[in-house]
Copies of this chain bind each other. A is one copy, B any other.
Amino acid sequence: MKRNIHVEELRAAPVSEMEVELVERKGKGHPDTVIDGCAEAVSRALSQYYLEHYGRVLHHNVDKGLLVGGRSAPRFGGGEVLEPIYIMVAGRAFTYVPYRERIEPVPIGTITLNSIRGFLAETFRYLDPVKHVVVDYKIRQGSLDLISLFDRGGEVPVANDTSIGVGFAPFTDSERLVLEVERYLNSPRLKSDLPEVGEDIKVLALRHGRRVSLTIAAAMISHLVHDASHYINVREEVESRVRDLAAKLTDLEVDVVVNAADDPSKGVYYLTVTGTSAEAGDDGNTGRGNRPNGLITPMRQYSVEAVAGKNPINHTGKLFNIAAQRMADRVIKEVRGVREVYIRLLSKIGSPIDHPEVASAALVLEPGYTLKRVEGDVMGVIDEELQHITDLTPEILSGRLGVII
């Protein structure tokens, strides 16, 4: 069956040439990112379990999470958590599996608690996943009709919902900047040099013409910061390092401000015991943070779908967002003459995932190129990616293709 692929020209300037641009990234310790990570960790662990025991990933969807902030008392040189962070992951999964004439139970609770605690342990240096967090879950057996959608042996799975996936390429300088700054501030090297910098880092770029204002909120680890002057030293060192990094990444003029809400006259500093604002009242919901490319880009086309926690087999809310991103990256890399591309995929509930309702590309072309000239190549990339869409699943499971990057 021929796929419904469509390519059109977007008669617009690329985003990098717009005068104003806004880009945001919630760092790996931000409450929304954390609860995304928890949901995704559960989905991965469940998938692995199903794969090992039943030879394939069974249906699940654990993409609804809630993180309720705790209460803490940070202070220079010390501090403690008063009340724990509360994390709940909710959704559906096979908790019993009909297998070889038997009904086999799945250790859903053990898988869920372990994977969430494991994720937290990998993410934070000073948040104790046992002492500082209450983890709970509400995951029940899925309803039967969805179950049947999986029952197709070696065939391509059918979509479990009508979902939209969107991807774009390439990144603008502002976008790369935001992504790389947060990654740098959460890199092992920075943590080794400046251990005081916590994991909850939010980066926001406002580009106006050729000038970028980078606003960074970075939680500091209270017991590693002796006093206010130490704190200010660290903050200035972060600003200085980010400026250096920015100079390597872009020719744009970059201003950097860290922790703009500090108010020394009132003793207000961004101090945390654990490295995340979740310890003291900042809450989180799954699907509210970065898109699968690691950014929030309100001036771009993108999907509001949560990717974290959805199953990597037939939930197009996950697969189509990841696939669209890959298609966009390949188009930029492989098709000469395309300056910017947006890929939009729409699934049809009950139809095979390699045959979307529509796969649509919108292109900003380089001067001198016509749609006609590039159209075929773009369609070729999309068609090929759709043909191999089921290859995404093992990539996602192995972590080579991440949804939290």
Write the residues of chain A forming the contact surface with B, with a CB cutoff of 8 angstroms.
6, 8, 10-13, 18-20, 22, 24, 63-71, 73, 80-84, 86, 88, 90-92, 95, 105-110, 113-114, 117, 130-132, 134-136, 138, 140, 142-143, 145, 148, 162, 164, 166, 202, 204, 206, 208, 213, 215, 217, 260-261, 263, 266, 268, 280-281, 283-288, 291, 296, 298-304, 306, 342, 344, 346, 348-350, 357-358, 360, 362
Contacts and interface: CB of A to CB of B under 8 A. Distances in A.
A110 B82 contact: yes
Given A287-B288, A304-B298, A83 B66 contact: no
Contact of A215 (B83, B106, B162): B162
Nearest to A133: B113
A18 B22 contact: no
A307 B294 CA distance: 22
A208 B81 contact: no
Contact of A107 (B81, B110, B134, B266): B81
A18 B10 contact: yes
Given A22-B346, A145-B268, A296-B304, A110 B136 contact: no
A208 B7 CA distance: 11
Contacts of A105: 71, 73, 82
When A and B form their complex, which 8 residue pairs have the shortest distance between CB atoms, in order from nearest? Answer: A12-B12, A83-B109, A64-B283, A66-B66, A20-B360, A8-B19, A84-B109, A285-B285
A57 to B, nearest CB: 19
A358 B298 contact: no
A177 to B, nearest CB: 16
B304 A285 contact: no
B66 A64 contact: yes
Q: Which of A6, A130, A208, A261 has the most CB of B within 10 A?
A: A261
A344 B298 contact: yes
A285 B288 contact: yes
Contacts of A108: 82-83
